[in-house]
Structure 1
Amino acid sequence: MSTAAPNLPVTAAEYLEGELRSEVRHEFVDGRIYAMSGASRKHNEICLETALILKDHLRGGPCRTYIEAVKVQIADDIGEAYYYPDVFVTCEPADDDSHIVRHPKLIIEILSHGTSRYDRGEKLAAYQRLPSVEEIVYIEQDWPEIFLLRRSDRWKKHIYTQPDSPVHLESVGLTLTVADFYRSAPFPDDVKRPWYLINREDG
């Protein structure tokens, strides 16, 4: 992500108005806007596969699944931000705005080398501030690994790397395997976590 304009800061209202006209998506954090870079084909495949699995599982119920182009708002005493999660679920009837969701229940981000530090740092801390968020899931794009945090166990880190490892999404009552997330973008048998991350707990 990179700053989109030199005349910062801007108000949230100015950001939202500009975003309706912009051909490029931007995220907003406390008066500053950041242009979102394009995603890889593998990122796109993982995102769509995950969203379709969730949408099918939740079909007929009150929950709705969204991908990439719908914003999540975080506004509290600490600050205000608007993000575009890769995949997320809301089950809140009050989330009736055409472009913004304020009560996501499950948030999923697909990580790349360029976004991992930001997604697991500043962005994670912001998501955890939303009272409605029950689970946050990170899917590595370049090797098979799922990283899950759950509010009910105080955001303890759970890491899954084996293809047949069960990953339980408590927030939506769904259990998948690691391989399920990568069904449309499988890895070769010899793919491994990069050597420089092997001894780091959270990558």
Structure 2
Amino acid sequence: MTAATQNDRVSVEDYLAMERESDVRHEYVGGAVHAMAGSRGTHNTISVNAVRAFGNQLEDSPCQPFVNDIRVLIRLPTHTRYYYPDCLIVCDDPPTSEMWTEKPALVMEVLSRSTRRIDLMEKKDGYLALPSLKVLLYVEQERAYVHCYRRSDNGFEFEAYEGLDAVVPLPEFRIELPLSTLYQRIEFTPESYEPEPR
């Protein structure tokens, strides 16, 4: 993403108007607008695999998966944010005509080297502030590894799933996410890196 300067601050209304006309998606953080970097094939394949897996299992459910064209609205005490997750599940708040929701039940981000710090810090803090959120997933690209933040009675708890034999249980939606499905058609390179500290 590109950084915006103080002089580039825009209102939510102007941001939404800009998005309606723009061919490039932008995220919005307290008046700063950031153009989203283009994603490569691996990133897109993982996102599509996830939404297909969720959709196949949610056919008779009130919950519905969406892939990366739906903004999530986060209203914080000091400012407003709009993010485009790579995949999300919405159960009781269908996206508006402006293509946004503020009640996702699950959010998934595919980690990229260029955006992982923002994803794992700024975005994580915003997503975990959503009262509707039950599960937050971060998916690595270079190896079969998923970070999971799951809501419990004590807040969000961290879980890790590693290897193509692993399965992320999602009892909140009566479904599951096998990593073999999530990483279908992905060929891993010998190089890999360790996940950032949570």
Task: Give the 3-state SS of the residue equivalent to 1:187 in structure 2.
Answer: coil
After superposition, the C-alpha distances for 1:34-81 in whole angstroms (9 at most, x for unaligned) are: 000100100010000100110111113211111111111011323210
1:169 matched residue in structure 2: 170
- Over aligned residues, Cα RMSD in angstroms? 1.9
Distance 1:22 1:7 in 2: 20
Task: Give the 3-state SS of the residue equivalent to 2:33 in structure 1.
Answer: strand
Q: Give how far 1:171 is off.
A: 2.8
2:126 matched residue in structure 1: 126
2:74 matched residue in structure 1: 74
% identical equivalent positions: 30
2:96 matched residue in structure 1: 97
Please, what TM-score do these two structures have when normalized by structure 1? 0.89
Distance 2:157 2:48 in 1: 27
Q: How does 1:5-24 map to 2 (within 5 A)?
A: 7-24=7-24
Distance 2:143 2:184 in 1: 13
Q: Give how far 1:14 is off.
A: 0.4
1:29 matched residue in structure 2: 29
Q: Which amino acid aligns with 1:165?
A: A
Task: Give the 3-state SS of the residue equivalent to 2:34 in structure 1.
Answer: strand
Tell whether the 8 Å contact from 2:6 to 2:32 is kept in structure 1 after alignment. no
After superposition, the C-alpha distances for 1:77-121 in whole angstroms (9 at most, x for unaligned) are: 2321000000001001x4351211111000000001111111010
Q: Which amino acid aligns with 2:110?
A: I
Gaps of 5+ in 1: none
Distance 2:95 2:197 in 1: 39
Task: Give the 3-state SS of the residue equivalent to 2:107 in structure 1.
Answer: strand
Please, what TM-score do these two structures have when normalized by structure 2? 0.91
Distance 2:30 2:122 in 1: 12
Gaps of 5+ in 2: none
User: Is residue 2:85 matched to residue 1:85?
Assistant: yes
Task: Give the 3-state SS of the residue equivalent to 2:85 in structure 1.
Answer: coil
Tell whether the 8 Å contact from 2:70 to 2:95 is kept in structure 1 after alignment. no
After superposition, the C-alpha distances for 1:9-31 in whole angstroms (9 at most, x for unaligned) are: 10000000110001110000001
